[in-house]
Structure 1
Amino acid sequence: MDIEEGETQKAFYSKGSAIMMVVFSGLAIGSDGYNAAVIGNVELLLAILYPDSLTSSIYTRLSNAFLIGMIVGMLGFGVVSDQLGRKTGAVATTVLLVLGIVLSTAAHGTDETGMFWMLIIARGIAGVGAGGEYPVAGAGAAESTDESAGMRKHRGFMFAMIADLSASLGYVFGGLVPLLLLLCVHQREDKYDIVWRLSFALGLIPPVSIFWFRYKMAVSTAYRKASMRKQKIPYLLAIKRYWRPLLGVSSTWFLYNWIAIPFGIFSGTITNRVNAGDSLITNLGWGVVINCFYIPGPFIGGYLSDKIGRRKTMALGFALQAVLGFVLGGAYGKVVNIFPLFVVMYGIFLTLGEVGPGSTVVLASSENFPTAIRGQMMGLCSAFSKAGAAIGTQVFTPITAHAGDQGAFLVGSGFAVLGALIAYFLIPDAERKLENEDEAWKAYLEQNGWAADWGDNETQDPKGAVIDQRVS
């Protein structure tokens, strides 16, 4: 249903639908950030309430359940969003996330161990929903920002806000909410059960608030015209054509998550430097402060990605982070004794990670692939990144054991150098107009004898809420 000249009401709804798709994608990813971060703070309370039942094996499973669920969701919903549509994927991920949060909040068992196993399963379910948001929200937001030249021009900044700032704020609130709840109950230990359950429950607010819109969302122009809905995908041809961006984005996202591991290591160092370990409130407060250092990065990185391109911005952020990391690692013995200087330098180190890969990697994994396989390629790249986070956790622990905190900074900076090189030489400068790559993909398949029935002619848009125009 094309928008004809003079049909101002439909044009209004089309523009509004595109903008709301972008805004709510940001809320969805921010919600995932909150639900990923809150478990670390909840575990502090659980360790006090259930010191005997929260064994090291249960602790590890509880910490990893969400991460494993995310990897499953990223891979699975990449396929769902391409084959069954962005709306189907968006609704399903929201339902799974809400179900997982409800089960986490209500976790009980015949004994404490049974309760923890229910919590582990519930966190896994929530992780599947949260992981699915990356290919669903990322692909959907990219296609929505392609509806007009104005949105396309500022897509880099918009994606930095959607994917990076929202996730960073999610992590901030993941520490701030338990902190405020503890203050509300006057830090009474007999109220800790209420605090940890409410901390989970409040994670329901964003996904529940956007569910109706996602249920009523319109189909983007790109998906309407260029999807391969419910058709076999020529994966060998896809890899042959897109191996370079697939390798480049996957590797840089992997390294970005690996480098982010020092946050977990050095947050403890910072709090110990100010004798903060004697209070839950102080520990949570410093965690919030440290997470706030991530926030400036998306604003800088988003601006740069529109001005100099995604590839150069990512490489620049990695390179600057490496330089500062080598300075911190080389002069660690002296810098750590000047606590304010150490905090500022460490904060800038975190910010630079967001300026580069943090602000650009989700966008790069969206722009570099055609609509027909965008969700699956993005899901694969994001799943690879979570593998980097998991592997990095295991590797950095022995590094700090043998080389100390200084060694972790130096190793992390070495990975940043590698990230800068991969970003600069492997990630191409993608076309800003997604339709251009869609047409190139169609022509490529035709040249290789692959016929497809292009587009989505089945899904019906809700009355009045349409996105099937491209004004330029």
Structure 2
Amino acid sequence: MSAESSPGFTPTGTIASSIDRRRVVVATVIGTTVEWYDFFIYAFAAGVVFANLFFQPMGKDFAQIVSFFSVGVSFLFRPLGAFLAGHFGDKLGRRPMLVITLLLMGASTTLVGLLPTHAVIGVWAPILLILLRVVQGVSAGGEWGGAVLMAVEHAPRKKRGLFGAAPQIGVPIGLLLASMVLALMAQIAPGAAFDAWGWRVPFLLSIVLIGVGYWVRRRVSESPVFTEISERKEETRMPIVQLLRHHLLLVIVAALVFAGNNAVGYMTTGGYVQHYATDPAGPVKLGTGPVFWVVALSGVTWLIFTGLGGWLSDRLGRRTTYVIGWILQLVGVVLLFPLTDMATTGSLAAALVILTVGLGLTYGPQAALYAELFPASIRFSGVSISYAIGAILGGAFAPLIAQAIFQNTHSTVGITWYLAGMTAIGLLATLLLRDRSGIPLGPEAEAEQAVSPIRGMSKV
């Protein structure tokens, strides 16, 4: 009996009903929102309070660098999460991995909110903090690939960019929620009270969000592509080995595409702008609460342009949408610090809003772009590992690099050149790829999918 005639078979790229379609979109948006709310509150706290609470004996400047390092160290473990989730996601299904990664992230985030500081338990405080950050990194490394494939592989062929933007907009929504909750806590518990207990509340609230995300994700159906692979009994035994043996160059190019976006995005999501704008010894000296509200506003514009980027990529193509986005992202990079240094809430808002236009247009199409690059049997592994490597090359240590540049030069010019260079790398990597918008995603089209997306190559 063929897969197409077998009971329960769902054709690739279709959803049985509008209810199922909404369920898939809601599940990917909510789950990704929860994951990245957890991730961002850590990054923001690292930029504002962790240096003093967990790393103070290292001295003010070095403590802040180590605090930003603790943000970046989780990225080093994203590939582990990507390897594990990719391997089991290609063998056991997309949905189980989404539930596991959500629970891992929620548990580690809640425990950060309960963690004693250095003043209470000494050196164990930073050690445990970094260990929990490592767990967050493993979770984040496995989360993204499963979420985007659930969205894109369920999508109609001509709406993959739009559907793929669903998990993507979960990231700016997570940024928005994290910023709003921290801003509210800065008002409820200002100054010393925020350092004493106010920062903990957003971490503890994670347990509520995890419960919602778990309930939603358990209700969504498995990806039709994986269902078809299972029906055909064509699961790849060692998907990671096949990926690295036959698709390594593609993984590197895809990773560089994301690196160009991620390095710039982590100026806000990694906590650097928050630290730069609120540092009492710095050039701007804005209040913590207003800065968090401004970052929340930038989360709204990032959300809008991420969704717009996915929608445009269905009409203009993934590659063209990316190129437009890279140009606008470069404009945002050039204006970021001159506007921020005007030291008003309005100028900071203008800087971050302009920056998020390009960020959104180079983030919205990513899910569809990545899904269309890799063959069905190793797709989870391909998108997850490319994303994880791109995050290491891009955002992992961007706040640390920016802080080191500023401390050594007492100027933001070097930071601007660094971010412009990462944007240029993302643009060049994009230009190396063919546009594969609309390519069949099911296992019946593996031969077509095996034609290399890299320009000038006929095979992967």
State the SS of the aligned residue for 1:93.
Answer: helix
1:55-454 correspondence runs (5 A): 56=63, 59-60=67-68, 62-108=70-116, 111-145=121-155, 149=156, 152-163=157-168, 165-185=169-189, 187=190, 189-190=192-193, 192-226=195-229, 228-229=234-235, 231-233=237-239, 235=241, 240=246, 242=247, 245-263=250-268, 265-266=272-273, 277=285, 279-323=287-331, 325=333, 328=335, 344=350, 347-355=353-361, 357-388=362-393, 389-397=395-403, 399-400=405-406, 401-402=408-409, 404-435=411-442, 438-441=443-446
CA deviations 1:347-397 (Å, max 9, x no partner) are: 313321211x21122321122222211110011111112212225445444
Q: How far did residue 310 of structure 1 move?
A: 0.9
Contact 2:40–2:178 (Cα < 8 Å) also in 1 = yes
Q: How far did residue 231 of structure 1 move?
A: 1.8
Measure, in 1, the Cα distance between the counterparts of 2:284 and 2:101.
38
Measure, in 1, the Cα distance between the counterparts of 2:448 and 2:318.
26
Distance 1:278 1:118, change over 3 A: same
State the SS of the aligned residue for 1:103.
Answer: helix
Measure, in 1, the Cα distance between the counterparts of 2:69 and 2:418.
27
CA deviations 1:371-429 (Å, max 9, x no partner) are: 21111001111111221222544544455444932343244234323422321332432
Residue 45 of structure 2 corresponds to 42
Contact 2:236–2:377 (Cα < 8 Å) also in 1 = no
Residue 27 of structure 2 corresponds to 24
Contact 2:376–2:446 (Cα < 8 Å) also in 1 = no
Measure, in 1, the Cα distance between the counterparts of 2:53 and 2:183.
17
State the SS of the aligned residue for 1:219.
Answer: coil
Q: How far did residue 81 of structure 1 move?
A: 0.8
Measure, in 1, the Cα distance between the counterparts of 2:80 and 2:243.
24
State the SS of the aligned residue for 1:390.
Answer: coil
Q: How far did residue 235 of structure 1 move?
A: 4.2
Q: How far did residue 316 of structure 1 move?
A: 1.5
CA deviations 1:199-218 (Å, max 9, x no partner) are: 11212333321323434543
Measure, in 1, the Cα distance between the counterparts of 2:241 and 2:136.
29
* Cα RMSD for the two superposed structures: 3.7
State the SS of the aligned residue for 1:358.
Answer: coil
State the TM-score, normalized to the length of structure 2.
0.79
Gaps of 5+ in 2: 1-5, 451-460
Which of the pair has more CA radius of gyration?
Answer: 1
Contact 2:180–2:296 (Cα < 8 Å) also in 1 = yes
Measure, in 1, the Cα distance between the counterparts of 2:253 and 2:305.
21
CA deviations 1:257-284 (Å, max 9, x no partner) are: 2233444555555557998636432343
- Equivalent AA in structure 2 for residue 385 of structure 1: G
Q: How far did residue 337 of structure 1 move?
A: 5.4
Q: How far did residue 253 of structure 1 move?
A: 0.6
- Equivalent AA in structure 2 for residue 229 of structure 1: E
State the TM-score, normalized to the length of structure 1.
0.77
Q: How far did residue 80 of structure 1 move?
A: 1.7
Contact 2:90–2:378 (Cα < 8 Å) also in 1 = yes
Q: How far did residue 444 of structure 1 move?
A: 8.6
Measure, in 1, the Cα distance between the counterparts of 2:286 and 2:402.
26
State the SS of the aligned residue for 1:415.
Answer: helix
Distance 1:420 1:46, change over 3 A: closer
State the SS of the aligned residue for 2:420.
Answer: helix
- Equivalent AA in structure 2 for residue 75 of structure 1: F
Measure, in 2, the Cα distance between the counterparts of 1:60 and 1:289.
23
Q: How far did residue 140 of structure 1 move?
A: 1.9
State the SS of the aligned residue for 2:365.
Answer: helix
- Equivalent AA in structure 2 for residue 225 of structure 1: E
Measure, in 2, the Cα distance between the counterparts of 1:247 and 1:74.
15
- Equivalent AA in structure 2 for residue 370 of structure 1: P
Measure, in 2, the Cα distance between the counterparts of 1:441 and 1:252.
24
Residue 7 of structure 1 corresponds to none
Gaps of 5+ in 1: 5-10, 446-472
Contact 2:37–2:174 (Cα < 8 Å) also in 1 = yes
State the SS of the aligned residue for 1:434.
Answer: coil
Give the paired residue count. Answer: 425
- Equivalent AA in structure 2 for residue 232 of structure 1: M
Distance 1:135 1:399, change over 3 A: same
Measure, in 1, the Cα distance between the counterparts of 2:438 and 2:399.
36
Q: How far did residue 38 of structure 1 move?
A: 0.6
State the SS of the aligned residue for 1:277.
Answer: coil
Q: How far did residue 336 of structure 1 move?
A: 5.6
Distance 1:414 1:189, change over 3 A: closer
CA deviations 1:46-81 (Å, max 9, x no partner) are: 455567457628635543344334343123211121
Contact 1:159–1:363 (Cα < 8 Å) also in 2 = yes
- Equivalent AA in structure 1 for residue 184 of structure 2: L
Contact 1:367–1:430 (Cα < 8 Å) also in 2 = yes
